[in-house]
């Protein structure tokens, strides 16, 4: 058991059971011992791998997409390129390198990183060192702190880390699932005594997840894009339409673990509800495109051509890695279908590249 377990137990003793969202928020981002605060969880030695860590092609293609998007915005200078939850900073470093294909875009870019973890901020600073003084990033703890203006916003595997609440349909209506201390010294799920939300009809035992912080963030993105121009790309795993089900999961050392077992020691994520995010952004004045499967999106952006160009310049061992990376990113049995890409845009802009016909 971790120190965070003690802290959560004390909170429950004082205030009663916590919502799952409060539990998840503490476990992931509490300043003393939150999962993301204390470690770099990515890669072979960590708990999981993400697309930008699989291959430089991912960030490079998003960099080229950003350049085309910027041109469609009328080439504003400066343009904020904002990344939410940049992890090791790999995607932004690859994006900035690729952006030099369009020098006027490269000159206009002001990178802004929204990151809550001091450990990962340090990793990002190191990754972006090579980007040079013109692309020195500014860090923020929330999107609301990023200066207003035309922007391109990228979020890869950010929304799945935002805390979710869960509601369960009982014979007496919808009850919230709460976290309580159990006598054995661990945590267990209990139900709120009163109905706390009015949700639609569903069979008894159904679970409905809601991500209030995700929906608020999508609304804030929508307002910003509608007022100042720009496009956002949200890449994550999840469902296209709002659906019932408990998707909260814990991953530790590349394996699933019990969700409530060791707060601060395991990564907690939930499927992203793309329909809810798109709705929130549309209500705020933006347009939504997709979501399209990640594999389709990357192929539309030229993943196959980029792979071929890298293969031509590679030795035998590198060739194997490059081919494996393309497979991992785009194949339907790997990340190609599970991960989806949603675009949000200012209403006066054309359909973003990769979303034609979506």
Give me the residues that bind ligand SAH (CB under 6 A), please. Answer: 28-29, 36, 42, 50, 52-53, 85-87, 114-117, 120, 156-158, 161
Q: How far is the CB of 268 from ligand SAH (least distance, A)?
A: 10
Cβ atoms 70, 105 nearer than 8 A: yes
In the block, tokens 């499927």 appear at: 271
- For ligand SAH, the closer CB: 98 or 120: 120
Nearer to ligand SAH, 17 or 85 (CB): 85
Work out the angle at residue 27's Cα, subtended by the Cα atoms of residues 123 and 154, and round it to the nearest 5 degrees: 45
Residue 29 Cβ vs ligand SAH, minimum distance, rounded to whole Å: 5
Backbone angles phi, psi at 20, to 5 degrees: -60, -35
- 292 beta partners: 341
CA separation for the pair 154, 148 (Å, rounded) = 16
Question: What residue is closest to ligand SAH based on CB?
Answer: 85
Nearer to ligand SAH, 53 or 273 (CB): 53
Residue 211 or 231 having the CB closest to ligand SAH: 211
Q: What's the rounded Cα separation, in Å, for the pair 62 and 147?
A: 22
Q: Kindly tell me which of 156 and 307 has the beta carbon lying closer to ligand SAH.
A: 156
Assign 3-class secondary structure to 114-138.
Answer: ECCCHHHHHHHHHHHHHHCHHHCCE
Structure tokens at 219: 């609304």
Distance separating alpha carbons of residues 320 and 274, to the nearest angstrom: 34
Write down the least CB distance from residue 3 to ligand SAH, Å.
Answer: 19
- Minimum distance between the CB of residue 213 and ligand SAH, rounded to whole angstroms? 7
Nearest residue (CB) to ligand SAH, 1 versus 122: 122
Are the beta carbons of 205 and 191 closer than 8 angstroms? no
For ligand SAH, the closer of residues 17 and 89 by Cβ is 89
The nearest distance, CB 260 to ligand SAH, in angstroms, is 19
Query: DSSP for 282-315?
Result: HHTT-EEEEEEEHHHHHHHTTHHHHHHHHHHT--
Q: Tell the smallest beta-carbon distance from residue 123 to ligand SAH (Å).
A: 9
- Residue 210: CB minimum distance to ligand SAH, A: 16
């Amino acid at each position: 058991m971790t120190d965070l377990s003690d802290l959560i137990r004390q909170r429950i003793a004082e205030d009663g059971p916590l919502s799952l969202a409060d539990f998840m928020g503490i476990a992931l981002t509490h300043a003393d011992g939150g999962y993301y605060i204390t470690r770099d969880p990515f890669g072979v030695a960590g708990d999981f791998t993400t697309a930008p860590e699989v291959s430089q092609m991912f960030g490079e293609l998003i960099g080229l997409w950003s350049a085309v998007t910027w041109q469609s915005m009328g080439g504003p200078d400066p343009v904020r390129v904002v990344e939410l939850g940049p992890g090791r900073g790999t995607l932004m470093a690859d994006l900035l390198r690729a952006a030099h294909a369009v020098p006027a875009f490269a000159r206009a870019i002001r990178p802004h990183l929204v990151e809550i973890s001091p450990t990962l901020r340090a990793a990002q600073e190191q990754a972006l060192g090579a980007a040079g003084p013109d692309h020195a990033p500014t860090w923020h703890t929330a999107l609301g702190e990023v200066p207003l203006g035309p922007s391109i916003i990228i979020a890869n595997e950010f929304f799945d880390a935002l805390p979710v609440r869960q509601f369960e349909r009982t014979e007496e209506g919808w009850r919230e699932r709460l976290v309580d201390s159990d006598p054995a010294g661990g945590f267990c799920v209990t139900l709120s005594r009163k109905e706390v939300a009015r949700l639609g009809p569903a069979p008894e035992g159904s679970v409905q997840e809601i991500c209030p912080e995700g929906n608020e963030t999508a609304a804030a993105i929508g307002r910003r894009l509608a007022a100042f121009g720009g496009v956002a790309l949200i890449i994550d795993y999840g469902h296209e339409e709002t659906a019932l089900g408990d998707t909260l999961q814990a991953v530790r050392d590349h394996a699933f673990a019990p969700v409530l077992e060791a707060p601060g020691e395991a990564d907690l994520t939930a499927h992203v509800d793309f329909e809810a995010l798109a709705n929130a952004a549309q209500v705020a004045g933006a347009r939504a495109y997709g979501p399209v499967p990640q594999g389709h999106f990357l192929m539309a952006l030229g993943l196959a051509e980029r792979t071929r160009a890298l293969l031509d310049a590679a030795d035998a061992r590198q060739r194997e890695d490059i081919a494996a990376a393309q497979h991992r990113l785009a194949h339907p049995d790997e990340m190609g279908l599970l991960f989806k890409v949603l675009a949000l845009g200012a209403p006066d802009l054309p359909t973003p590249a990769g979303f034609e016909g979506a």
